[in-house]
Structure 1
Amino acid sequence: MLFICTILIPSPFNLLSHPGVFKQEERTSGVRTRRRQGSSAMASKILLNLQEEVTCPICLKLLTEPLSLGCGHSLCQACITVNNKEAVTSCPVCGISYSFENLQANQHLINIVERLREVKLSQDNGKKTDLCDCHGEKLLLFCKEDRKVICWLCERSQEHRGHHTFLMEEVVKECQERLQAAVQRLIKEDQEAEKLEVDIGQERTSWKNYIQTERQKILKGFNEMRVILDSEEQRELQKLEEGEVNVLDNLAAAKDQLVQQRQYASKLISDLQRRISGSSVEMLQDVIDIMRRSETWILKKPKSVSKKLKSVFQIPDLSGMLQVLRELTDAQCYWVDVMLNPGSATSNVAVSADQRQVATVCTSTLKNSNPRDFSAFGVLGCQYFSSGKYYWEVDVSGKSAWILGVHSKISNPNKRKSSGFTFDPSADYSSVYSRYRPQYGYWVIGLQNTSEYNAFEDSSTFDLKVLTLFMAVPPCRIGIFLDYEGGIVSFFNVTNHGALIYKFSRCRFSQPAYPYFNPWNCPVPMTLCPPSS
């Protein structure tokens, strides 16, 4: 079996072209001859001589189908055929001419070549020796031009004549060094690629999770919007149906009234016509009564349907509704889990253990505080904000009074005043809210007397007016949005699909802002809602 050595990348052919790869110069012909003689001495002298006798002088391979010339030398049949085509008819060894027709097969040489091959195969049996496929010789040389490993007979052939050849030992050492360096570099590159693969996998997972989260948000948002739109659709249809019933019933009643009046008028006309066409006695009999009825009867026109009712039958402002939903959705992106600060509460209110609920303990007698200071019911949130945007929601279901919003201490303590909210069990609370001014650090809205919603006007003047807020749907849940840098505090009626209740857009915060809660004089608790609840 023949074994062929294959050299892997980087190719030694590139190494040969690299300056300085081989430090030794090419060997002279005499040195190569001595090297070859030294290598040949390791083989049997008899076999070597015999091999030279049966080697074709043209292809330098063992004779194949040898033909004998007249001079006694032998050539391969294929080599003689090539020479004949090229008009060469002389022996390449001695130069004596020959005739192609007179050539004869040399069976004796054929037998010798076969025996020689058998001997060489038996000697090399079990040895892992790299041999030349063409000549069966050991591969000891490297050809720079053809970039392949060859034997000494290949070097002498026409194929490699004039090429630069080197002993493999000279090439292998430096080739191994460069290959090893290449291996080390590739190992580092592979390790970096492995790390990048892990990083990309982690980044892909992160992006996948992020996109899935956003997908869920989108689905949830649109589902909520569908629910809201369906609810609004039913509400609008119900309002339309109620308006239809009202209008049609009124028109039906008006029609019935006109029918009755026409019946009465028709009877009156018939009586008058009968008297006119009858005798004098018939005409004058009870004439005073019928004359009085005919002269006093006046048609009572029914009330016309007000044109204002047409507004009931108009399609609602869907774009405005979607804008409200968008504002609430944008605000809810900044939802924070606000907790109540028990340390900021007095004994007049009770904060639950989970710090999410506050209720009034006593509304008739204030404990440990000025009996006229209504701020004794106020509680601040644990968190304070000095930058950024924040949102939280409060459940005020069942309460008849409350105050909600944002509180920030005023920067000049000399100008600081009490909130102005005072509590007197016998007092009327209709105007008590008016003293919770932004100038005192309060941006709030409030409910009093069950249905009166108030807020200060959004103005830069000191003499602010108290506004009465209209609520189409009484809020059970209120959202508060704070934009510290933007100077905005907004209130949303979450119960009414996020309708904007009121917005302060000229807030000036010089100190940290706190969420503010005041259950006021109503014993029903107010509850902080956890995010996305």
Structure 2
Amino acid sequence: MAATVKFLKELESEITCSICRGYFCEPVTIGCGHSFCQACLSSSWRVGDPAFSCPECRQVSQERAIPTVNKRLAELTELGKELSSKLMPSTQGQSQCVTHKKLFKLFCEEDQTALCVTCCETPAHGAHKISPVQEAAHKYRKELQNLQIRLGNHLEENQQLLAQEEKPAVDWHSMMMEEFHKLHHLLIEEEKRCLKRIRQEQKASQDRLSQHMQSLQNLMQELQEAGHQANLDVLQDAKQLLGRSESMLAQQAKAITQELRECPIPSLIKMLNRYRVDLTFDPRSATSCVTISEDLKDVKAGAGWQVETTPPENPPRHYVFAEQTFSSGSQYWEVDVSQLPQWTLGIYTPRLKRKRAKNVASCTSVFLLQCVKKEGDYYLQTYPGPLNHQMKSPLPRVGVHLEHSLGTLAFYNVLQSSFIYKFHSICFTAPVTPLFCPGPPLPGTKPGPMTLCPMNSHLCVCCYSSQ
């Protein structure tokens, strides 16, 4: 019995494919002498490979095509399977039905279990599809081999896709680099134009001031010379000199007033929108002077805010705060101020120490940008800081960008996509809270609300001009 088992095992090793570990199905033999299922070898040898090698010994084969079926080995395989099915069950207890003590010769397709002849006659399997064990095993081997072929085809497709990704037909990397290089070039050119315009405006302002100073000096010289003239001559020229002097003094304010420069930066607001946050007003900060809407998006001057007939130089300001605070990262929000002649935007952070800078307080807890209206003109001012510039027209929407790690707070003209002002070197030591002020109101006016713009809202020149 032991000799029979040994013989069958040796026979099985000769008729078993080393790739699928099953009996040969349409076996083929290659030059080195090793044999495999035709389908297994086909899935192992990929079309387009520079050389075919044996899957078992790795010897390079001189053949460039799958060999024909080895008929003798196929017949030996069938004989070996038949001998194994007849002899091995008598030597192994697992091939015998425990209940009826008979060999497993049948297979139930529905229950996926081996049966003896008596098991097949029971009602439990009466309506089931029953097949001989050898026939069922052959069927499933064919299905497994077909599945292996399909998987091999998918693997080959994936290998081809991987090769295409490694060497794509379209060089996306180079094309994207070229596009970004072009964009960089356009931005550099726009930067040059913007800086050139600033230099030209600075020179024009300097020339204007120089001419005004020269006119003042000439007028002072005339006044000095008039003081040495005879009485009648002085009286004759006095009225003209006095008129010119008054006119010159009236031009003084306009000559020294600085205008806020508008230098649009392409895609600036679009890039800042990557850091957009959704803010709401803190209802606890509302008072009789400032009221907040139910949706926490609008704030306006309340009835308690006393409007002075003649506004003082430094009118009182009543602030409201955002519900959100920030301790890290980068945040950007936009505020609609189109219905307000005067307003204030900024941040508040307690116990803040700021690096010393020229003309800036060394310790402050607020950083503000405010709009002030004087004699029909609008001015933007910062606190702390030097900005006190006249605007060509009121701002409809202001963007605010807080960069915690860099310690900066910047303001932008959203309509023109241009920069207004930036605070630098802020050393934050506590959470930052955005703050707002919809005033002070001007006498005889009824200002509208200050509005926190929704996350998905955008403003362009055409939209604003059509409003």
Please indicate the TM-score interval, normalised by the length of the shorter structure. Answer: 0.3 to 0.5
Structure 1 or 2, whichever has the larger Rg, is: 1
- What TM-score, normalized by structure 1, do the two folds share? 0.36
